[in-house]
Amino acid sequence: MTVTEPTSRALDEIKIGGMGASRRRVEDNRFIRGKGHYVDDVVLPGMLHMEILRSPVAHARIVSIDASAAWEIPGVRLVLTGEMMATRNLAWMPTLSYDTQAVLATDKVRFQGQEVAAVIADDPYIAKDACEAIVVEYEQLPVIVNPTQSLAPDAPLIRDDKVGQVDNVCFTWQVGDQDATDRAFAEADVVSRIEMHYPRSHPSPLETCGSVADFDRATGKLTVYMTTQAPHIVRAAVALIAELPEHLIRIVSPDLGGGFGNKVPVYPGYVISILASILTERPVKWIEDRTGNLISTGFGRDVYLTGEMALRKDGRILGVRMHTDSDHGAFFGDAQPSKFKIGLLHSAFACYDIPTAHLTARGVYTNKAPGGVAYRCSFRVTEAMFFQERMVQAAADDLGMDQAEFRRLNFVRDDDFPHRTPFGFLTDSGQYAKCLQVGLDAIDYEGFLREKAEAAKNGRLLGIGISCMTEPLGAGNSREYDILGIKMFDSAELRVHMTGKAILRTGAKTQGQGHETTWAQIVAHELGIPAEDILVEEGDTDTAPFGMGTYASRSTPVAGAAIAMAARKVKAKARQLAAHLLEVSEEDVEWELGRFYVRSAPDRGVSIQECAMAAYSNMPDGLEPGLEANAYYDPPNLTWPFGCYIATVEIDPATGVWDVLRFVAVDDCGVRINPMIVEGQIMGGLTEAYAMASMQFITFDADGNCIGSNFMDYLLPTAWETPGWELHEVVTPCPHHPIGAKGVGECATVGGPAAFVNAVMDALKGHGVRNVDMPLLPDRVHEALQTRGDVSGAPPIRTDR
Amino acid sequence: MYPSRFAYEAPRTLDEAIGLLHDGAGEAKVLAGGQSLVPLMKLRFANPELLVDINNLPGLDRLETLADGTIRVGALVRHRDLERAGDVHRIQPVVGAAAPLIADPIVRTRGTLVGSLCHADPQGDWAAVVTALRGYVVAQGPGGRREIPIGDFVTGPFQNVLAHDEVAVEAVLPGPRHTVAGGFLKLERRVGDFATAGTAVAIELDGDRVTRAGIALTGVGSRTVDATGAAEALVGRALTSEAIAAAADAAAEAAQPTADHRGSAAYKKHVIHTFVTRILTRVSTTSEQAA
């Protein structure tokens, strides 16, 4: 007997650019032609230009500011100082962490590069000349560049502006179960300890920050073109800070030349340009220069981590203690959910089955730039996972266990989900041991260990480092996560036009992630409309639905889910239209990709495009015309991707220079919408991980001078030194996400650094070294070999005067 | 990054350029490749009132090798030209070793060797190469031409001996008399980074005996360090491990580095020692194999 299956008329999902299609990025079409439209491309009639005068010193009382010479330069329209900002109640502004930050300094400058005055002129050259003509008299104060100095009993008070602030501590916080953790340590056979500094880094997108503020006195409307990853948050902030009506504020975030967390906060430059436009009644453009970006805008990391692990002889982890001293600079400006003072640092150890843990955290003020942005990570998850994997390697070494075996033994098992992490997060899915095995097989773990032993006989130093982690991406849910009280959900709005083409808008904001490409693929997957027929638009608060923006790898987990939900609403309505066109009841209509058909007569069907036309031209009685929907999505949980990164290195003992021999990355980010874009994100993330591990840091000398204020000192790796990446994948769909996707944009940056550092430390094993702080510059590695000891990277740097 | 106001002239003849510099009375600067000057102007560390662009001057882009092995590098010869000049590399391998390590490919396309010498950055690479090769700079001013040995040309950090109305028109590397060998090694944190420490070694060998040696160091002093003691340790001797060790010791001794974010002074001296040892050991091994 032969059975003839009815021939499906469903569209080929890959051909229409749906889920799983490695579709070329549509936005690249304009970018590679130089036709992108960035903030600096905005030119408005009558536009003025603003430059900021910054403090050359790190801590000083402002004795006087004389701007009279600046006012006299032809073409200067306005000179603003803190005193003038204060008359408008704008000398200070709130930060994203319930602190305050100076917009223009009034009393003191508290870090090198702090904004002191601004000049608005006919062109930027005049504005710059006028900045140089402003005479500021400073009375220098003692400078603090690290927590030890900050916490010293005789330390000068940095925040003497704050009522009741008696020391330089900006918060203390704790999480976990202290008593249970104490008991675990009492029962331990072995206690392993480690301490380290995760150095200050900077997201350094190629496009610096900037704004064009345009206040129209006649309409009362304020339009601000701005480099922001979260335009709606900015609109809310401007409404609150500048006390302007929210419906008359339009924030437009055009093409962004990268963000990486740098463009989440509201910076003084934006606020000053807005006030300048209100005062001059002219559009005012402010484009930060590279040095301004590196020395004054949101840094990442700068956390001192110490911890210990309670271990049983057989290799099981019983508990973990952690303490962080974090350096927040002059103002506590971390961009993070308000409940958590040190971000999601307590997501550490989420992939290990550990009964209990306790974390204490203390934040301090120093004379350094404020910020604490999540540089390509979900709220200090980078520090968490780096500490975790460095601690795990140290523990394995202390137990004399193989580092891969130690991880395998302590991993949460595949059948043990949902799993409560030692700090209380709920993880829901993963195949940790499988990912590790894929990585070990790819790098030929056993083979490399033999090669390493062989090389050691000739005095060569080879090492292998592993880093495994699951991280929390995609905040909310809204119960736990908010920024300044605004709950963390996201949104999408989908309109299908009568010819079956569509426009999709979301509350996220692409900065290079490729939303214009992948969002269309989600709609294609849900509705069968070819991706090329869908226009994706983001970043204009007058047109986009309210959303919390793009950072912390939250776009696909939250906005991506909202897109799927909006598309499903559209599909539900299209089904009604299909039933009408097919003259059957809705219950008799079946769906296959791109087409509704009659269940009993599969040949009778209508395409989604025919439904769209009917929505405007042939709708049934009683059905609202049009075919569109919006969705606000509040995720039930974070998504938990997993990454396993393995590096092999060789150190030149004579110079301390180390080279990466191979690097294997195994990423499980659930279902991949556009595999090519995912791989691009991973490669970019690994490159940033390599940068932080090998060369990148912003440090300070004892006077608070920023070392790393330009791209000659703050190093971005080039194609020459960046290792080749070998990528592998495992897919464990997210159980609660509508299309099974998890966040991925940051995994490699978060998990990558420990792989490099563990590899170098592995090569140094037996040389008396437990830790060398990042970046592992050749001189540090060499010093470790020479002194047979740890090397700290904490500022101030050692210099000869 | 907005420079101060400046005037710009692009003369067609060398005399015209010298005239403009003369009238500029010390406030004019020559623009060749612009890879150091333009960034400094954008940072307002350099604020010339007049830029005299010499890119239109005829003949300055000539890179010549003469029959006696002399190499003449015109003021408009780009790093890239030197990187690709196989005939130059055959005469002076140290040039071939250094050229691909200058900055990054983008800078190499525009920047010039003569400009690099004039800029006199203590971390510059070419000054070390030219010092090791006992080269000189040819300058032309209102009073005519003069030849300035490289050791006299650079007078301090970012300072040279040129009068305000003189143009450095070429650098000259004298031809070798015997078999040449040498190398250039630089430690940099990343391609395009300034040298943490760098070493140029140029020697001539008659048989296994060193007849001439030049060892110059970059990144380890307020100007290029001519490690004459290291060179003297080699001349008249074979490249034995003792001679190599003596040269490396002397080179490290000559280095005057300061501690900064690239490393401690001791580390930089150690790197110099390592590099001199490595270059000379490679030369020694190669010539043994050739013999």
Contacts of B271 in chain A (CB under 8 A): 655
Is A300-475+637-787 a CATH 3.30.365.10 domain?
yes
- Taking an 8 Å cut-off on Cβ atoms, the answer to whether B267 and A783 are in contact is yes
| Per-domain boundaries in chain A | 28-36+490-633, 39-141+208-255+263-296, 300-475+637-787
pLDDT over 90 for what percent of chain A?
A: 93
Q: Which residues make Cβ contacts (< 8 Å) with residue B81, sequence separation at least 6?
A: B61, B63
Average pLDDT, chain B: 96
Is B7-53 a CATH 3.30.43.10 domain?
yes
- CA–CA separation, A175 and A194 (whole Å): 20
Q: How buried is A625 (Cβ within 10 angstroms: 0-12 exposed, 13-18 middle, 19+ buried)?
A: exposed
Chain pair A-B, CB pairs under 8 angstroms: 71
- CA–CA separation, A359 and B138 (whole Å): 68
pLDDT at A3: 55
Judged by phi (left if over 0) then psi (alpha if -120 to 50, else beta), residue A372 lies in left
Q: pLDDT tens-digit profile of A741-785?
A: 999 999 999 999 999 999 999 999 999 999 999 999 999 999 999
Active site residues of A: 229, 376-377, 746
> Residue A169 in contact with residue A364, Cβ under 8 Å?
yes
pLDDT at A2: 55
Domains B7-53 and B179-290 share a fold: no
DSSP class of residue B267 equals: H
Contacts of A708 in chain B (CB under 8 A): 261
Residues of A with CB under 8 A from a CB of B: 51, 124-125, 127-129, 132, 289-291, 654-657, 694-695, 699, 707-708, 710, 712-713, 715-718, 720-721, 777-779, 782-783, 797-800
In this structure, of A100-109, A331-340, B99-108, the range with the lowest mean pLDDT score is A331-340
Number of neighbours of residue A290 by Cβ within 10 angstroms: 17
> Residue A541 in contact with residue A533, Cβ under 8 Å?
no
- Taking an 8 Å cut-off on Cβ atoms, the answer to whether A129 and B4 are in contact is yes
Strand-pair partners of A202: none
From B142's Cα to the closest Cα of chain A, the distance in A is: 35
Sign of torsion over alpha carbons B280, B203, B216, A657: negative
pLDDT at A7: 63
- Mean pLDDT throughout A132-158? 98
- Taking an 8 Å cut-off on Cβ atoms, the answer to whether B265 and A800 are in contact is yes
Contacts of B262 in chain A (CB under 8 A): 777, 779
- CA–CA separation, A107 and B27 (whole Å): 39
Q: pLDDT tens-digit profile of A375-428?
A: 898 899 999 999 999 999 999 999 999 999 999 999 999 999 999 999 999 999
- Taking an 8 Å cut-off on Cβ atoms, the answer to whether B264 and A798 are in contact is yes
Contacts of A721 in chain B (CB under 8 A): 190-191
- CA–CA separation, B220 and B199 (whole Å): 10
Place of tokens 């073109």: A225
- CA–CA separation, A514 and B117 (whole Å): 46
In the chain, the amino acid numbered B219 is: G
From B275's Cα to the closest Cα of chain A, the distance in A is: 9
Q: What is the CATH number of domain B179-290?
A: 3.30.390.50
- Taking an 8 Å cut-off on Cβ atoms, the answer to whether A695 and B261 are in contact is no
- Strands of the A461-470 sheet, one edge to the other: A461-470, A642-651, A658-668, A726-729
- CA–CA separation, B257 and A406 (whole Å): 45
From A62's Cα to the closest Cα of chain B, the distance in A is: 24
Please report which confidence band the pLDDT of residue A671 belongs to, taking 50, 70 and 90 as the band edges: very high
ipTM, interface predicted TM-score of the complex = 0.95
pLDDT of A561 over the 90 cut: yes
Q: Which two tokens stand for residue A620?
A: 């049934």
Contacts of A132 in chain B (CB under 8 A): 44
Q: pLDDT tens-digit profile of A252-292?
A: 999 999 999 999 999 999 999 999 999 999 999 999 999 99
In the chain, the amino acid numbered A733 is: P
DSSP class of residue B100 equals: G
**What top-level class would CATH report for the domain A28-36+490-633?**
alpha beta
Q: pLDDT tens-digit profile of A308-367?
A: 999 999 999 999 999 999 999 999 999 888 889 999 999 999 999 999 999 999 999 999
- CA–CA separation, A741 and A563 (whole Å): 13
Which of A51, A654, A718 is closest, CB to CB, to B190?
Answer: A718
From B198's Cα to the closest Cα of chain A, the distance in A is: 12
Q: Which two tokens stand for residue A725?
A: 């990446």
pLDDT at A6: 55
Helix, strand, coil percentages in chain B from 3-state DSSP, rounded to 5: 35, 25, 35
Residue of B nearest to A786 (CA): B267
CB crowding B230-246: b at 16 or more within 10 Å, else e:
bbebbeebebeeebbeb
- Mean pLDDT throughout A569-573? 98
Residue of B nearest to A716 (CA): B190
Residue A796 preceded by cis peptide, ω within 30: yes
Residue A775 preceded by cis peptide, ω within 30: yes
241-260 in chain B: CB under 8 A from chain A = 258-260
From A126's Cα to the closest Cα of chain B, the distance in A is: 9
- CA–CA separation, B14 and B30 (whole Å): 12
Q: pLDDT tens-digit profile of A323-338?
A: 999 999 999 999 888 8
pLDDT at A4: 54
| Per-domain boundaries in chain B | 7-53, 63-173, 179-290
CB crowding A303-342: b at 16 or more within 10 Å, else e:
bbbebbbbbeeebbbbbbbbbbbbbbbbbbbbbbbeebbb
Place of tokens 């072995």: A190
- Taking an 8 Å cut-off on Cβ atoms, the answer to whether A779 and B264 are in contact is yes
Half-sphere exposure (Cβ direction) of A292: Cα atoms closer than 13 Å? 21
Mutate to test the interface with B, among A129, A655, A692, A722 (most CBs of B within 10 A): A655
- Mean pLDDT throughout B74-89? 98
From A385's Cα to the closest Cα of chain B, the distance in A is: 26
pLDDT at A243: 82
Q: What is the DSSP string of A518-586?
A: HHHHHHHHHH---GGGEEEE-SBTTTSPP---S-TT-IIIIIIHHHHHHHHHHHHHHHHHHHHHHTS-G
Helix (H) or strand (E) holding A451: helix A445-456
Average pLDDT, chain A: 96
- CA–CA separation, A633 and A559 (whole Å): 7
Q: What is the CATH number of domain A39-141+208-255+263-296?
A: 3.90.1170.50
- CA–CA separation, A374 and A262 (whole Å): 8
Domains A28-36+490-633 and A39-141+208-255+263-296 share a fold: no
In the chain, the amino acid numbered A110 is: R
Which of A128, A717, A799 is closest, CB to CB, to B190?
Answer: A717
In the chain, the amino acid numbered A309 is: M
pLDDT of B135 over the 80 cut: yes
The alpha-carbon radius of gyration of chain A (Å, integer) is 28
More confident residue, A96 or B96: B96
pLDDT of A617 over the 80 cut: yes
Closest CA to B6 of B43, B51, B60, B71: B51
B206 at interface of A, judged by CB pairs closer than 8 A: no
Number of neighbours of residue A233 by Cβ within 10 angstroms: 25
- CA–CA separation, A589 and A451 (whole Å): 63
From B259's Cα to the closest Cα of chain A, the distance in A is: 5
Which of B43, B189, B270 is closest, CB to CB, to A695?
Answer: B189
pLDDT of B197 over the 90 cut: yes
- Taking an 8 Å cut-off on Cβ atoms, the answer to whether A777 and B262 are in contact is yes
Number of neighbours of residue B215 by Cβ within 10 angstroms: 33
Residue A476 preceded by cis peptide, ω within 30: yes
Contacts of A712 in chain B (CB under 8 A): 193-194
B86 at interface of A, judged by CB pairs closer than 8 A: no
Closest CA to A193 of A398, A377, A334, A363: A398
B274 at interface of A, judged by CB pairs closer than 8 A: yes
Please report which confidence band the pLDDT of residue B249 belongs to, taking 50, 70 and 90 as the band edges: very high
Closest CA to A250 of A222, A271, A277: A222
Contacts of B192 in chain A (CB under 8 A): 718
Q: Which two tokens stand for residue B212?
A: 């001439």
> Residue A438 in contact with residue A666, Cβ under 8 Å?
yes
Which of B189, B258, B274 is closest, CB to CB, to A715?
Answer: B189
* Backbone phi, psi, residue B177, to 5°: -100, -25
- Mean pLDDT throughout B243-257? 98
Entry field: residues in chain A: 801
- Mean pLDDT throughout A734-746? 95
* Backbone phi, psi, residue B37, to 5°: -65, -45
Please report which confidence band the pLDDT of residue A486 belongs to, taking 50, 70 and 90 as the band edges: confident
Which of B43, B191, B270 is closest, CB to CB, to A718?
Answer: B191
Contacts of B104 in chain A (CB under 8 A): 718, 720
- Taking an 8 Å cut-off on Cβ atoms, the answer to whether A777 and B263 are in contact is yes
Is B63-173 a CATH 3.30.465.10 domain?
yes
Taking the CA atoms of residue A525, residue A531, residue A535 and residue A538 in that order, the dihedral angle to the nearest 10 degrees is: 50
DSSP class of residue A737 equals: S
Closest CA to A645 of A408, A389, A375: A389
Q: pLDDT tens-digit profile of A216-235?
A: 999 999 999 999 999 999 99
Sign of torsion over alpha carbons A700, A716, A273, A222: negative
B107 at interface of A, judged by CB pairs closer than 8 A: no
Q: Which residues make Cβ contacts (< 8 Å) with residue A447, sequence separation at least 6?
A: none
Contacts of B4 in chain A (CB under 8 A): 129
Contacts of B261 in chain A (CB under 8 A): 699, 707-708, 713, 797
- CA–CA separation, A595 and A9 (whole Å): 8
From B59's Cα to the closest Cα of chain A, the distance in A is: 33
Sign of torsion over alpha carbons A350, A354, A355, A361: negative
- Taking an 8 Å cut-off on Cβ atoms, the answer to whether A798 and B259 are in contact is yes
Q: pLDDT tens-digit profile of A517-531?
A: 999 999 999 999 999
Residue of A nearest to B101 (CA): A720
Closest CA to B54 of B106, B112, B95: B112
